[in-house]
């Protein structure tokens, strides 16, 4: 059994954790131990069946009595644990507004990157996290419903397929770490990258949201960024909400004030360098 | 490492507020939270925590409680909206919407509504009106959930409800009942009487009278092979019955059970609630409730063992024999012996395959056309 603290939430992971423990320890330094702690979420690694244990072993994740993911081979466990950790938050924490996006911060100002899978948001935010920015979250913005500020979690970024090789050269400093790659998950090859040390994470404070960028990655397209109408921007942010319908009125009013103050852009790009210049201006 | 868990007695004492959560050790508080979530009762747990108390609790606990308050509030609005929509959609077909179970508690603001989690909306319609209802629903964006042939046959021939419908936009699941109990059970629920005594809540929207809400919940608990949400049913029943007895008599309540050929179930229910909630039923037991037969005493004991969720966080909770007993009793109450044997052979085959080849073996098959 391990207790894993993501800065915001405490997870208990139990069952046969041996195959992932070493990797988790590297992804979450100074955040993981074998002591008991009252946990926000309980994740149990279970064997699926008698015969399979002998012939073709499979494990499944039991999260507080739910099994939202398909069983997988024990060697493919690491990404599933990361997904399960995201699932817990989106299913159970309605004290915050949760928006499906990655969040990068510089100069005390946050930029949200909502976007479909394939938009390059994870690649971009991992790149930023490894190059002087702070990666507040790779999967969801955790927004305080009273202040509208976005809060940081100590979680790695998740990289898929060719993004892994793109990002690898930037993993240089001692506070960076890239996990081993898990091949052949239902999302392809997956690796996770830690972009900061726990000490740095501990200095991070909730931040005002300065901009929301809807990304479209297209190799054939020229760089193009244009501001979109606030009301359309609001609707697009809401459509990325994990728990917007649950948090209701409070979520609506805080999003209205966020969208009114932030720059809302639609961005098409094929080179990360183009985006870098644009976002540097947004957090001046 | 397996967690040590808390005793069922401590679990119940905190949920019924005989013991304050703040008196628990951190490990006990953690087990309480896990067990409450597994029992679908973290809403009930959250009801025991007010703002002052929540400051004294470990953060994961107070956060879960705050979160479920928000969820519960949103759910109430969503259920009300879905019920209103249904009542409008079925009104042109001349069908009154009679809500059952969770949706009825919430829309009718029953004493157990606060923190009650629901996964779908249940309605009761006359059997003759089923085709009209299905047509009206399909015209309004509802789609029947695809099932395998066996389950489809089970629903259509023997069950008291249709295969679930799902609304294509909102994702709301709708269970349409034409009776409270499977047709194969031999019990006789007077659906016309439920309809005649229904209570108006809004335009074309109704809930059953309190006595029938209790009868239905009791049937769901006692004539069922699956007691996964059994403890939650008991808490519903406790609060509904206490509410009923504040103005109604135990005799009038029992009369409803007798009419449905469920007198034995009424006694079993009160004995079971007495085991859980203790003192509040001692007077009832001495005046209005039959002594139990030898078999029913064993059944109460088996039920008591199986209503708690299967989780490592509750101690003494692996009573396989009691679960078998409740499973067989539940099935035999729903269907004659011969049908039961056919049914368990089929289900037994599927479960053996699942045990050998894994939970998702059948899910990977392409859907049958």
Domains and CATH numbers, chain B: 8-335 (3.30.460.40)
Residues of A with Cβ-Cβ distance to B312 under 8 angstroms: 44
In this structure, of A57-71, B185-199, B318-332, the range with the lowest mean pLDDT score is B318-332
Same structural domain for residues A245 and A127? Answer: yes
Distance (Å) from the alpha carbon of B126 to chain A's nearest alpha carbon:
34
The sheet with strand A10-15 has its strands ordered as A32-33, A2-5, A10-15, A41-47, A59-63
CB contact under 8 A, B64 and A40: yes
| pTM for this predicted structure | 0.88
Using the Cβ of B117 and the Cβ atoms of chain A, whether some distance falls under 8 Å is answered with no
Q: Quick check: B286 and B25 in contact, CB under 8 A?
A: no
What pLDDT was estimated at residue A78? 96
A217 and A263: one domain?
A: yes
Q: Which of B36-50, B186-200, B265-279, B338-352 has the lowest mean pLDDT?
A: B338-352
A19 and A77 in contact (C-beta within 8 Å)?
Answer: yes
| Angle ∠(A110,A111,A115) on CA atoms, nearest 5 | 145
pLDDT of the residue at B288? 66
Question: Side by side, which strands form the sheet with B121-124?
Answer: B142-144, B165-167, B173-177, B121-124, B97-100, B205-207, B199-202
User: B-chain residues within 8 Å CB-CB of A94?
Assistant: 67-68, 70-71, 74
pLDDT of residue B171: 85
Number of structural domains chain A divides into: 2
Residue B291 exposed, middle or buried by CB count within 10 Å (0-12, 13-18, 19+): exposed
E strands, chain A, are 2-5, 10-15, 32-33, 41-47, 59-63, 96-106, 109-114, 134-137, 140-144, 150-151, 157-160, 177-178, 182-185, 188-194, 208-217, 224-227, 263-269
Q: How far is B234 from chain A (nearest CA, A)?
A: 20
Boundary-marking domain end, from A48, A72, A92 = A92
Chain B residues 49-78 within an 8 A CB cutoff of chain A: 58-61, 63-64, 66-68, 70-71, 73-74, 77-78
CB A248 to CB B74 under 8 A? yes
ipTM, interface predicted TM-score of the complex: 0.93
* Among A40, A75, A92, residue at a domain's last position: A92
Average pLDDT over residues B351-358: 62
Task: Please give the residue range of the domain that contains residue A114.
Answer: 96-284
Regarding whether A75 and A100 lie in a shared domain, the answer is no
Angstrom CA distances, B176 to A260, B179, B180, stand at 45, 9, 10
Q: Which of A204, A259, A94, A62 is nearest to B63 (CA)?
A: A94
Interface test mutation site (partner A, options B37, B41, B45, max chain A beta carbons within 10 A): B37
The pLDDT tens digits of the residues spanning B230-242 come to: 999 999 999 999 9
Residues A100 and A166 in one domain: yes
Statement to judge: residues A55 and A170 lie in one domain: no
Residue B365 has what pLDDT?
A: 44
Whether A35 and A105 map to the same domain: the answer is no
B367 pLDDT tier (thresholds 50, 70, 90): very low
pLDDT for B369:
34
- Cα–Cα distance between B41 and B12 in angstroms, integer? 11
* Confidence band, pLDDT 50/70/90 cuts, at residue B223: confident
Question: Is A137 found in the same domain as A48?
Answer: no
Farthest-apart Cα atoms in chain B, separation: 59
**How would residue B206 be classed by pLDDT, with cut points 50, 70 and 90?**
very high
Same domain, A181 and A269: yes
Whether residue A100 is found in the same domain as residue A229: yes
Claim to verify: residue A84 and residue A111 sit in the same structural domain: no
Residue that is last in its domain, among A76, A92, A108: A92
DSSP calls for B125-146: --GGGHHHHHHHHHHTTEEEPP
Predicted confidence (pLDDT) per residue in A22-66, tens digit: 999 999 999 999 999 999 999 999 987 666 666 678 899 999 988
Q: A100 and A88 in one domain? A: no
Question: Which pLDDT score is estimated for A118?
Answer: 74
Chain A residue with minimum CA distance to B32: A38
Count of A–B CB contacts within 8 Å?
80
Q: What percent of chain B has pLDDT over 90?
A: 56
Share of chain A above pLDDT 70, in %: 98
Q: What is the rounded average pLDDT for all residues in chain A?
A: 93
Over residues B276-288, the mean pLDDT reads 79
Residue in B closest to A71 by C-alpha: B360
Q: Which residues of A touch B (CB under 8 A)?
A: 1, 9-10, 14, 36, 38-40, 42, 44, 48-52, 58, 60, 64-65, 67, 70-71, 92-95, 245-248
The answer to whether the CB of B120 falls within 8 A of the CB of B173 is: yes
pLDDT reported for residue A39: 97
Do A184 and A261 fall within a single domain? yes
Mean pLDDT of chain B: 86
Least confident of A102-116, A199-213, A215-229: A215-229
């Amino acid at each position: 059994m391990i207790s894993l603290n993501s800065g915001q939430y405490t997870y208990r992971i139990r069952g046969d954790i041996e195959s992932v423990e070493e990797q988790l320890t590297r992804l979450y330094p100074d955040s993981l131990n074998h002591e008991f702690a009252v946990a926000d979420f309980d994740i149990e690694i279970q064997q699926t069946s008698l015969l399979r244990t002998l012939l073709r072993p499979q494990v499944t994740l039991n999260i507080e009595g739910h099994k939202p993911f398909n069983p997988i081979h024990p060697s493919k466990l690491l990404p599933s644990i990361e997904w399960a950790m995201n699932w817990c938050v989106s299913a159970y924490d309605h004290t915050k507004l949760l928006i499906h996006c990655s969040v990068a911060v510089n100069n005390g100002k946050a930029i949200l990157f909502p976007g479909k899978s394939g938009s390059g948001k994870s690649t971009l935010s991992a790149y930023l996290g490894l190059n002087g920015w702070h990666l507040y979250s790779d999967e969801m913005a955790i927004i305080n419903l009273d202040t509208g500020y976005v809060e940081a979690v100590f979680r790695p970024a998740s990289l898929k397929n060719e993004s892994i090789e793109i990002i690898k050269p930037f993993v240089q400093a001692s506070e960076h770490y890239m996990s081993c790659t898990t091949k052949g998950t239902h999302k392809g090859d997956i690796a996770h990258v830690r972009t900061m040390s726990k000490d740095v994470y501990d200095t991070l404070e909730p931040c005002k949201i300065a901009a929301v960028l809807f990304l479209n990655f297209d190799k054939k397209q020229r760089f193009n960024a244009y501001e979109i109408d606030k009301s359309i921007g609001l609707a697009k942010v809401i459509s990325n909400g994990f728990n917007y319908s649950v948090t209701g009125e409070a979520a609506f009013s805080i999003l209205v004030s966020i969208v009114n103050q932030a720059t809302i852009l639609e961005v098409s790009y094929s080179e990360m360098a183009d985006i870098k210049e644009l976002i540097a201006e947004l957090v001046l | 490492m397996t967690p040590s868990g808390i005793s069922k007695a401590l679990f119940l004492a905190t949920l019924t507020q005989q013991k304050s959560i703040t008196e628990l050790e951190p490990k006990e508080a953690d087990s309480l939270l896990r067990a409450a979530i597994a029992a679908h009762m973290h809403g009930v747990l959250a009801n025991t925590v007010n703002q002052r108390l929540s400051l004294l609790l470990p953060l994961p606990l107070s956060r879960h409680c705050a979160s479920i308050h928000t969820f519960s509030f949103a759910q109430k609005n969503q259920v009300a909206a879905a019920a209103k929509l249904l009542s409008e959609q079925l009104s042109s077909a001349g069908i009154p919407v009679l809500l059952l179970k969770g949706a009825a508690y919430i829309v009718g603001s029953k004493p157990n509504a606060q923190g009650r989690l629901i996964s779908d909306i249940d309605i009761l319609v006359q059997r003759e009106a089923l085709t009209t209802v299905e047509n009206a629903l399909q015209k309004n964006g509802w789609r029947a959930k695809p099932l395998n042939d066996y389950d489809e046959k089970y629903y259509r021939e023997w069950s008291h409800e249709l295969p679930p419908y799902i609304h294509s936009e909102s994702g709301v699941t709708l269970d349409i009942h034409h009776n409270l109990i499977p047709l194969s059970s031999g019990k006789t629920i007077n659906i016309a009487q439920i309809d005649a005594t229904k209570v108006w809540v809004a335009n074309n929207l109704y809930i059953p009278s309190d006595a029938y809400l209790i009868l239905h919940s009791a049937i769901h608990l006692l004539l069922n092979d699956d007691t996964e949400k059994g403890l939650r049913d008991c808490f519903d029943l406790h609060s509904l019955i206490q509410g009923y007895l504040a103005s109604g008599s135990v005799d009038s309540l029992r009369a409803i059970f007798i009419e449905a050929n469920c007198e034995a179930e009424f006694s079993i229910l009160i004995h079971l609630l007495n085991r859980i909630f203790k003192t509040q039923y001692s007077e009832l037991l001495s005046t209005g409730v039959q002594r139990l037969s030898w078999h029913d005493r064993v059944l109460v004991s088996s039920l008591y063992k199986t209503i708690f969720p299967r989780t490592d966080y509750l101690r003494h909770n692996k009573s396989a024999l009691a679960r078998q007993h409740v499973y067989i009793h539940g099935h035999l109450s729903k269907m004659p012996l011969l049908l039961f044997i056919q049914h368990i052979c089929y289900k037994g085959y599927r479960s053996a395959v699942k045990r050998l080849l894994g939970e998702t073996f059948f899910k990977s098959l392409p859907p049958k056309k």
